[in-house]
Amino acid sequence: MIATDAKPRLAAKARLRFDRKTSRYLLLYPERGLELNATAADVARLCTGEHTVAAIVDQLVEKYADRPREVIERETLAFLAALADRALLQDTT
Amino acid sequence: MSVSHRPYTLVAELTYRCPLRCVYCSNPLDYAGHADALDTAGWISVFRAAEDLGVVQLNLTGGEPLLRDDLEPLIEEARKLDLYTNLITSGIPLARERLARFRQLGLDNVQLSIQDVEPAASDRIAGLRSFERKLEVARWVKELGFPLTMNTVLHRDNLDHVEEIVALAERLSADRLGLANTQYLGWALLNRQALLPSRDQLARARVVAAAARDRLRGRMEVLFVFPDYYTDLPKACMDGWGRRFIVVSPDGLALPCHLAHTLPGVTFENVRDRPLGEIWEGSSGFNAFRGEAWMPEPCRSCDRRAIDFGGCRCQAFHLAGDAALTDPACSLSPHHALVERARADAESPAVSPSLTYRSRAAVVPQ
Ligand SMILES: C[S@@+](CC[C@H](N)C(=O)[O-])C[C@H]1O[C@@H](n2cnc3c(N)ncnc32)[C@H](O)[C@@H]1O
Ligand code: SF4
Ligand code: SF4
Q: Is A87 on the interface with B (CB under 8 A)?
A: yes
- Min Cα distance A12 → chain B (Å) is 6
pLDDT of residue A49: 94
Q: How many CA atoms lie within 13 A of B165 on its CB side?
A: 31
pLDDT of residue B3: 44
pLDDT of residue B275: 98
**Burial readout B261-275 (b: 16 or more C-beta within 10 A, e: otherwise):** bbbeebebbebeeee
Interatomic CA distance for residues B130 and B120, integer angstroms = 10
pLDDT of residue A91: 61
> pLDDT tens digits for B194-231?
999 999 999 999 999 999 999 999 899 999 989 999 99
Atom of ligand 2 nearest to the CA of B64: 5
Interatomic CA distance for residues B203 and B80, integer angstroms = 45
pLDDT of residue B361: 76
Confidence of residue A3 (pLDDT cuts 50, 70, 90): confident
Identify the closest residue of chain A to B86 by CA–CA distance.
A30
Q: What is the DSSP string of B202-255?
A: HHHHHHHHHHHHHHHTTT-EEEEE--GGGTSS---GGGSTTTSEEEE-TT-BEE
Q: Are strands B254-255 and B245-248 parallel, antiparallel or unpaired?
A: antiparallel
Beta carbons within 10 angstroms of residue A78's beta carbon:
12
Query: What is the signed CA dihedral for B212, B216, B222, B227, rounded to 10 degrees?
Result: 20
Burial class (CB in 10 A: 0-12, 13-18, 19+), B16: buried
User: Could you tell me if the CB of B26 is within 6 A of ligand 1?
Assistant: yes
Interatomic CA distance for residues B207 and B203, integer angstroms = 6
Interatomic CA distance for residues A80 and A1, integer angstroms = 9
pTM of the model: 0.96
pLDDT of residue B264: 95
- The residue type of B5 is H
Q: How far is the CA of B86 from the centre of ligand 3 (A)?
A: 32
CB B12 within 8 A of CB B59: yes
| Percent of chain B predicted with pLDDT > 70 | 97
CB B332 within 8 A of CB B232: no
Question: Taking 50 as the threshold, does the pLDDT of residue B243 lie above it?
Answer: yes
ipTM of the prediction: 0.91
Residues 6+ apart with CB under 8 A from A92: A2, A6, A7, A8, A9, A49
CB B82 within 8 A of CB B50: no
Q: Name every chain B residue with its beta carbon within 8 A of the beta carbon of A85.
A: 217-218
Between A91 and B23, where is the model more confident? B23
CB B117 within 8 A of CB B172: no
Q: What's the average model confidence in pLDDT over B311-328?
A: 98
Atom of ligand 3 nearest to the CA of B299: 2
Q: What's the average model confidence in pLDDT over B74-78?
A: 98
CB B78 within 8 A of CB B47: yes
Interatomic CA distance for residues B82 and B289, integer angstroms = 31
For chain A, what is the HEC assignment? CCCCCCCCEECCCCEEEEECCCCEEEEEECCEEEEECHHHHHHHHHCECCCCHHHHHHHHHHHCCCCCHHHHHHHHHHHHHHHHHCCCEECCC
Closest CA to B280 of B54, B79, B105, B65: B54
pLDDT of residue B279: 98
Q: Is B61 on the interface with A (CB under 8 A)?
A: no
Atom of ligand 2 nearest to the CA of B18: 8
Q: How far is the CA of B306 from the centre of ligand 3 (A)?
A: 9
Enumerate residues lining ligand 3, CB below 6 A: B 233-234, 298-299, 302, 304-305, 308, 310-311, 326-327, 330, 332
Q: Is B142 on the interface with A (CB under 8 A)?
A: no
Map out the domains of chain A as residue ranges: 8-87
Question: Taking 70 as the threshold, does the pLDDT of residue B178 lie above it?
Answer: yes
> pLDDT tens digits for B87-112?
999 999 999 999 999 999 999 999 99
- Min Cα distance B143 → chain A (Å) is 13
Q: Is A65 on the interface with B (CB under 8 A)?
A: no
Residue B21: what are its φ and ψ, rounded to 5°? -140, 45
Confidence of residue B2 (pLDDT cuts 50, 70, 90): very low
Q: Are strands A89-90 and A9-10 parallel, antiparallel or unpaired?
A: antiparallel
Beta carbons within 10 angstroms of residue B294's beta carbon:
16
Confidence of residue B4 (pLDDT cuts 50, 70, 90): low
Cis ω for the linkage preceding B298 (within 30 of 0): yes
DSSP code for B354: P
- The CATH architecture of the domain made up of A8-87 is Orthogonal Bundle (1.10)
Residue B311: what are its φ and ψ, rounded to 5°? 85, -155
Question: Taking 90 as the threshold, does the pLDDT of residue B267 lie above it?
Answer: yes
- Reduced to 3 states (helix: H, G, I; strand: E, B; else coil), residue B59 is strand
Identify the closest residue of chain B to A14 by CA–CA distance.
B108
- Residue B163: which H helix or E strand, with range? helix B162-171
Interatomic CA distance for residues B299 and B242, integer angstroms = 18
Q: How far is the CA of B61 from the centre of ligand 1 (A)?
A: 9
Question: Taking 80 as the threshold, does the pLDDT of residue B332 lie above it?
Answer: yes
Between B350 and A87, where is the model more confident? A87
Q: How far is the CA of A34 from the centre of ligand 3 (A)?
A: 28
DSSP code for B6: -
Q: Is A19 on the interface with B (CB under 8 A)?
A: yes
Q: Does the beta-carbon distance from A15 to B84 stay under 8 Å?
A: yes
Question: Taking 70 as the threshold, does the pLDDT of residue B278 lie above it?
Answer: yes
Q: Is B149 on the interface with A (CB under 8 A)?
A: yes
- Vertex B184 angle, CA B179 and B187, to 5°: 105
> pLDDT tens digits for B127-177?
999 999 999 999 999 999 999 999 999 999 999 999 999 999 999 999 999
Confidence of residue B1 (pLDDT cuts 50, 70, 90): very low
- Min Cα distance B217 → chain A (Å) is 6
